[in-house]
Structure 1
């Protein structure tokens, strides 16, 4: 099964039309954002009932049409506020069986697509308080199979509640920050880099870590956290028993010994995927997307576009969440999984990008803007970059004290450091950006001068062998059977003199991480983008002859075995 997401920057009008191969045909109905989704669905149903032929062309006003060929059975996803009354869902169920409307945001409901059984946090807490007991989660018990499905630790593990680890356990100690994330014995640096980024955005943080729980009021040993999973927000309930050795946390811990939000959040994410071991190895953008519902972009540093620092700067200004990674050294035979480079960076490791900033240097004979990045190692220790612009490096003498205060500059062994963009491109291998949907943004956090946000549409479905699983472009005889989307862009980017509009396309496969214990890994996925001739002069869906005679104009970099691929 798959999810396809399309983000438009500043698009006033969006029209998306989807085609099912093998005589199964439906349209996704576009509408102005902020308009009534219910009226859009009614218009769609009226159109379907009265048109008489699936080949009739809808009345469109287009400037340019682009076809996106992927795979999947597709459903339109509507704004969350249209689901509160359930009217749209009922309308579709009563009148049309072709379209199934799925909520993107809203109250959590039982999940049928993942490994987590639905549990009601408030109901569990009330029952435990009434019965005078602490919650023990039968769905994710304090046993070895919740830790590992294949690996083991070379030490005995004891599951303890925070009150057995600290005399004064708290969910938060003096608030929350990126410094509350310190990696220990689990190889999930990709996840912890995302944790650190999450703390930079208040609305996002409390969407994932609800503030209706604590160790003081109504404590019953039960906590809950929310994750975006393939188009829906899922509420994951856990008990607060954590794996320890000699009374100390084995996995993620906070810099404060009595603070437990980060360790409990890691446990909830482990439950979502079946075990702690399922969290070993991954991409920061995977977790960032699960915390936000945003759409990721991944860049190979060796192939960065010339304006990439501007892309990073604009992403930071739009509150996008960002991370970066270093690749393992193929020539290192030491057996060390994460060797340190002479410059203080860790190979095969993930970092958070926590700030992007031009810094002004003004001294006699020199006036210059230096593009800098602030990064954080989730180990949260002294393993930091030691080159130019690192802690206490001479370059900081060129910056006035007032500017240092404005940057929040500190020189602690906390895993955080600054470096120039030039050095960054020479020492890191991959950059990941999670672009937030409009519903994820807090208006109070939007920077001044940012007048446009992303417009987003999500489609959901599945590949079926012999029907909709057409393979990549190497298999032209079947490639055309993959589901096809027609995308119309009608509004240019703000300040773009070339009359162009930015679009980000992402394609995701579902539930593969939670099936690792069954030996299943990610399938190879990808998509291609084609420029359409005049809309009415091509078959719908596009047939094999179109793909034999037309080259793609863009798409994912390759068909690769990762959870999600995307392209701008």
Structure 2
């Protein structure tokens, strides 16, 4: 209840979701009809890392808990409690046989009755030392052994929950569970017109989605192809608890791109190299979490999580599990100053304050030659009246502007400081006019990042999300709010520069 808000939110849940909620792990689902060639190795490595393993046979719609001739119960959630190889010695020949130990949740006499079952003749060909190491017992406890071949042919599906490395201590694990997954975690948001670009079928907006770089240096142990295993899991957060608000699950997924060597830059609209796409989710699904396993060559990769369609909003959790360290980081631009757009330079020529503004400043400044926030407001409300449309700058905005340039902390601006502010405002007004593409007196949120770039500021997705959330409206970013965005950015960057001096 603590996880989802109420018992109602738990109704009709899935077992794999329950494993995630109780363990914090990442689930994988496999159909026996489409297993990878190295599936037993996958199971063995999962067991070594204490993953929760389960399997089941599809239920019979005409009979509840129907029993198969082999002694297995349809619809039961069997646990896999051991995965190993055993030495099979017969007629002077020794072979390694892949075996699994399973448990029926009933814990009674309903057990597998085929090869390797209790008291099966195959066990006599296993060395006594190995039987002892396996802790082999024959009783009606619902636990039994079977070969991997029979396991695949009699069960329909396997569910695997790979545990967070902090979920357990190795010394407390069952025998053979001696390793941990490496895990990286990032939280993010898809925001309409800002960072909700949709899937690869929408190339004009796909690049706007958040990007995360994963660097794989060391191949898996015992991998003859020298590749690295990663499991990518994408979860949409808090959707089940919001069902009553009409927020259903979205179709979510991700794509993975190989980065050229020594290159680590965010994707742009014109730089998406589809030939470098090395992985894409098998199916965008209306599920709380989707995951997929990949084997990749050592190198750097960009993971791009997305909804199927653009402009659908949600919070997400992206996790990457790997056998070796994966060094995952958010792949985005640093917040910094950049070059002013040439178009803005042309639009804001003659940056000196116009004579009427200078005269206005001198009249309001008085004998001290400085203007406080009220006097600054009068100047700017007059000078920017066309964009303000009768609204005017607020006390808070005017004080922010003064604080941005008030080096002597006097609470007012001299003409030299005002001149610097005026140059900024002329340029910012030019940017606003350039990006008010719909003539509504606002910059569409989808153009906010481009507008800030044109104003000479490089920003990342996190900053854009915050600015759009705080200063946006259904009409976009209006003039005063756009000016506030830029004042906040210039002030923040100035503070960071001072700290780094």
TM-score w.r.t. length of structure 2: 0.51
Q: What is aligned with 2:279?
A: 554
CA distance in structure 1 between the aligned counterparts of 2:105 and 2:211, rounded to whole angstroms: 41
Is residue 523 of structure 1 aligned with residue 250 of structure 2?
yes
CA distance in structure 2 between the aligned counterparts of 1:398 and 1:483, rounded to whole angstroms: 56
CA distance in structure 1 between the aligned counterparts of 2:284 and 2:159, rounded to whole angstroms: 18
- For the pair shown, the structure with the greater C-alpha radius of gyration is 2
Deviations 1:43-85 (A, max 9, x none): xxxxxxxxxxxxxxxxxxxxxxxxxxxxxxxxxxxxxxxxxxx
- Segments of 5+ residues of structure 2 without an aligned counterpart are 294-501
What secondary structure sits across from 2:77 in the alignment?
strand
What secondary structure sits across from 2:204 in the alignment?
helix
Task: Say which of 10, 25, 28 aligns to 1:294.
Answer: 25
What secondary structure sits across from 2:253 in the alignment?
coil
TM-score w.r.t. length of structure 1: 0.45
What secondary structure sits across from 1:462 in the alignment?
strand
Q: What is aligned with 2:267?
A: 542
Q: Judge conservation of contact 2:59–2:75 (CA < 8 Å) in 1.
A: yes
Q: Judge conservation of contact 1:296–1:566 (CA < 8 Å) in 2.
A: yes
What secondary structure sits across from 2:190 in the alignment?
coil
Q: Judge conservation of contact 2:258–2:278 (CA < 8 Å) in 1.
A: yes
What secondary structure sits across from 1:369 in the alignment?
strand
Q: Judge conservation of contact 2:87–2:127 (CA < 8 Å) in 1.
A: no
Task: Say which of 58, 64, 75 aligns to 1:327.
Answer: 58
What secondary structure sits across from 1:290 in the alignment?
helix
How far off its partner does 1:279 sit?
A: 5.2
Is residue 565 of structure 1 aligned with residue 297 of structure 2?
no
How far off its partner does 1:440 sit?
A: 2.6
CA distance in structure 2 between the aligned counterparts of 1:341 and 1:449, rounded to whole angstroms: 31
Is residue 317 of structure 1 aligned with residue 48 of structure 2?
yes
Q: What is aligned with 1:426?
A: 153
Deviations 1:372-417 (A, max 9, x none): 1111222333333232222333333434555444323333333322
How far off its partner does 1:273 sit?
A: 6.3
CA distance in structure 1 between the aligned counterparts of 2:73 and 2:5, rounded to whole angstroms: 27
What secondary structure sits across from 1:477 in the alignment?
helix
CA distance in structure 2 between the aligned counterparts of 1:542 and 1:385, rounded to whole angstroms: 53
Deviations 1:312-340 (A, max 9, x none): 112222222222233345xx4x2x35433
Deviations 1:191-250 (A, max 9, x none): xxxxxxxxxxxxxxxxxxxxxxxxxxxxxxxxxxxxxx6xxxxxxxxxxxxxxxxxxxxx
Q: What is aligned with 2:123?
A: 396
Is residue 407 of structure 1 aligned with residue 134 of structure 2?
yes
After superposition, the CA RMSD in angstroms is 3.3
Deviates more, 1:467-476 or 1:441-450: 441-450
Q: What is aligned with 1:48?
A: none
How far off its partner does 1:425 sit?
A: 1.1
Q: What is aligned with 1:493?
A: 220
Task: Say which of 194, 198, 202 aligns to 1:467.
Answer: 194
Deviates more, 1:478-487 or 1:544-553: 544-553
CA distance in structure 2 between the aligned counterparts of 1:466 and 1:365, rounded to whole angstroms: 70
Q: What is aligned with 2:409?
A: none
Q: What is aligned with 1:274?
A: 6
Structure 1 residues 494 and 406, CA, compared in 2 at 3 Å: closer, same or farther?
closer
Q: Judge conservation of contact 2:87–2:97 (CA < 8 Å) in 1.
A: yes
Deviates more, 1:416-425 or 1:475-484: 475-484
Task: Say which of 71, 82, 85 aligns to 1:358.
Answer: 85
Q: What is aligned with 2:366?
A: none
Q: What is aligned with 1:374?
A: 101
Q: Judge conservation of contact 1:317–1:447 (CA < 8 Å) in 2.
A: no
What secondary structure sits across from 1:553 in the alignment?
strand
Task: Say which of 181, 184, 193 aligns to 1:454.
Answer: 181
Aligned counterparts, 1:224-303, within 5 A: 274-275=6-7, 278=10, 280-284=12-16, 286-303=17-34
CA distance in structure 2 between the aligned counterparts of 1:486 and 1:398, rounded to whole angstroms: 50
Q: Judge conservation of contact 1:341–1:347 (CA < 8 Å) in 2.
A: yes
How far off its partner does 1:482 sit?
A: 1.9
- Segments of 5+ residues of structure 1 without an aligned counterpart are 1-114, 117-228, 230-271
Structure 1 residues 359 and 452, CA, compared in 2 at 3 Å: closer, same or farther?
closer
What secondary structure sits across from 1:323 in the alignment?
strand
Is residue 340 of structure 1 aligned with residue 71 of structure 2?
no
Q: Judge conservation of contact 2:254–2:281 (CA < 8 Å) in 1.
A: yes
CA distance in structure 2 between the aligned counterparts of 1:518 and 1:397, rounded to whole angstroms: 62
Deviations 1:82-102 (A, max 9, x none): xxxxxxxxxxxxxxxxxxxxx
How far off its partner does 1:276 sit?
A: 7.8
> Would you tell me which structure has more helix in proportion to its own residues?
2
How far off its partner does 1:476 sit?
A: 3.0
Q: Judge conservation of contact 1:318–1:446 (CA < 8 Å) in 2.
A: no
